[in-house]
């Protein structure tokens, strides 16, 4: 099935569903890690989530990647191979960023990603078309948690995400060990969203007809 060359910022607003997404960024200089507090919070609450995984991250953390791939509540997305500025690359190099990550993620997790998030949120019409041509849905978000900011406390983080969510929202957070308060805020985020009547689903579930 052909993928439309457009970026998805949120799902349909007809159902009270929200997708929590977590970027797993890695670069050649910084391989990052996995915030196991995020993982524990999701597993304890039996909350569905989507992890946008970098190819280098999967290669550097094969055990953690396999652990995420084994959980049926989690979806694995593609976040490029090296977290490069893809709009600055040639078409061939940008395509390699997508395809090499796809292979690395498949090898590490046993899953085939269906969704893609651009590093640094940098994209152009040409790179959106390229991602779609690779068979992936280009996904952004409509709720930016801001969790990399160390000054954003767990309370503020939870309050912002819960109050900002709308039916069909895609929330972006991080699970690569570069945030201080995400794991502490997550139980409150999950409880708060469910108290508002939201069902937590993966991105693919959110976008399904």
CATH code of residue 104:
3.20.20.370
Domain membership of residue 60 as a residue range: 17-207
Query: Quick one: average pLDDT of 23-33?
Result: 87
In-domain check, residue 189: yes
Mean pLDDT rounded to a whole number for the chain: 96
Q: Which of 192, 189, 178, 196 is nearest to 154 (CA)?
A: 189
What's the structural domain count of the chain?
Answer: 1
In-domain check, residue 8: no
| CA end-to-end distance (rounded Å), the chain | 14
CB 175 within 8 A of CB 51: yes
In-domain check, residue 6: no
Vertex 122, ends 63 and 142: CA angle to 5°? Answer: 80
- What pLDDT is stored for residue 32 in this prediction? 85
Instruction: Check pLDDT > 70 for residue 1.
Output: no
In-domain check, residue 96: yes
pLDDT per position as a tens digit, 76-119: 999 999 999 999 999 999 999 999 999 999 999 999 999 999 99
User: What is the rounded distance in angstroms from the CA atom of residue 21 to the CA atom of residue 141?
Assistant: 9
pLDDT per position as a tens digit, 29-79: 887 899 999 999 999 999 999 999 999 999 999 999 999 999 999 999 999
């Amino acid at each position: 099935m052909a993928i439309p060359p457009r970026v998805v910022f949120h799902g349909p607003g007809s159902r009270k569903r929200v997708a929590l997404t977590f970027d797993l960024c890695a670069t050649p200089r910084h391989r990052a890690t996995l915030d196991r507090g995020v993982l524990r919070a999701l597993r304890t609450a039996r909350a569905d989530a989507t992890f946008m995984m970098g190819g280098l991250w999967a290669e550097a953390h094969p055990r953690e990647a396999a652990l995420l791939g084994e959980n049926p509540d989690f979806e694995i997305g593609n976040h490029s191979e090296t977290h490069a500025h893809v709009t600055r690359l040639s078409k061939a190099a940008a395509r390699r960023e997508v395809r090499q990550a796809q292979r690395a993620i498949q090898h590490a997790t046993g899953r085939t990603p269906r969704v893609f998030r651009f590093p640094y949120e940098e994209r152009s019409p040409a790179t959106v078309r390229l991602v779609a041509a690779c068979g992936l849905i280009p996904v952004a978000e409509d709720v930016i948690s801001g969790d990399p900011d160390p000054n954003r406390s767990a309370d503020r983080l939870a309050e912002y995400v819960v109050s900002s969510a709308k039916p069909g929202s895609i929330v972006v957070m991080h699970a690569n060990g570069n945030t201080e308060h995400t794991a502490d805020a997550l139980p409150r985020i999950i409880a708060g969203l469910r108290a508002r009547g939201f069902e937590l689903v993966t991105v693919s579930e959110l976008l399904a007809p």
